[in-house]
Amino acid sequence: MPALPEGRYRGVIFSSTPSPKHRLHTMQMRLLNGEQIEVVMYGGREHAVVLAHARLRFTGVGKPWLLDSEREEPLPVLNIDLAFDQKYPERNRVLRAARTGEFVPCDVRVVPARADFAAF
């Protein structure tokens, strides 16, 4: 899938997975028009700000930052500035994200994998 045109988009970020050296983070997000995309962001202070705005929680060193599956409240909608990156032409790069003050209800519960297959 080619990258989106540069600009500002409104959406919700669901997860952020670090690369092995934590220099690059891959984020899964869904735009308000229903399109789910994968974007990248370089680590640092701005990445920490985006994680705070998206309300993602720490799950462990080297593990992805995820939404709290026990959460009952709606998720914040973010204005996300995307840019084209020569290194990753199939994905956009996140420059910054800011809260809009809006919230959307999302079901982020994780269903555990089945351990028994007797029903099949």
Q: Are 25 and 40 in contact (CB under 8 A)?
A: yes
For residue 98, is it within any domain? Answer: yes
For residue 115, is it within any domain? Answer: no
- Average pLDDT for the chain: 83
For residue 2, is it within any domain? Answer: no
pLDDT digits over 6-22, tens only? 889 999 998 899 888 77
For residue 109, is it within any domain? Answer: no
For residue 113, is it within any domain? Answer: no
Q: Which two tokens stand for residue 3?
A: 């990258």
For residue 21, is it within any domain? Answer: yes
For residue 114, is it within any domain? Answer: no
Helix residue ranges, H only, 1-120: 45-54
Give the residue numbers spanning the domain of 84.
7-103
Query: How much of the chain, in percent, has pLDDT values that exceed 90?
Result: 15
For residue 118, is it within any domain? Answer: no
pLDDT digits over 96-117, tens only? 899 998 988 876 655 555 566 6
Categorize the per-residue pLDDT at 67 as very low, low, confident or very high, splitting at 50, 70 and 90. confident
CATH code for position 43: 2.40.50.140
Number of domains in the chain: 1
Within a 10 A sphere around the Cβ of 119, how many other Cβ atoms? 5
